Amino acid sequence: MVIERVLTRGDEKDLGIIIAFYGREKIIDTLKNEIGYLPELIIDKVCKYFRLTKNQLKCYTKTQLQEKHWI
């Protein structure tokens, strides 16, 4: 939950702090397997920063699987 909050509400300085605390691999693992929702803008930034594709993120694949109303 802390990683998700920092990604959505923090800045570059905060991101550096959580990388130093948790480690890059733990954050990437959390993005891939635990975080269920991130705004589209944050998904783009995270993918660029950590060199991931959107399809690797749980929050993106989960969003794609949700049925939308047909109207």
The pLDDT, as a whole number, for residue 59 is 85
Specify whether the CB–CB gap between 8 and 23 falls below 8 A: no
Residues 6 or more apart whose Cβ sits within 8 Å of residue 33: 58
| pTM exceeds 0.85 | no
Q: What is the pLDDT of residues 44-58, one digit of tens each?
A: 999 999 999 998 998
Average pLDDT over residues 29-57: 91
Which residue type is seen at 20?
A
Tell me how far apart the alpha carbons of residues 60 and 63 are, in angstroms, rounded to a whole number.
Answer: 5
Residues 6 or more apart whose Cβ sits within 8 Å of residue 14: 6
The pLDDT of residue 65 is above 70: no
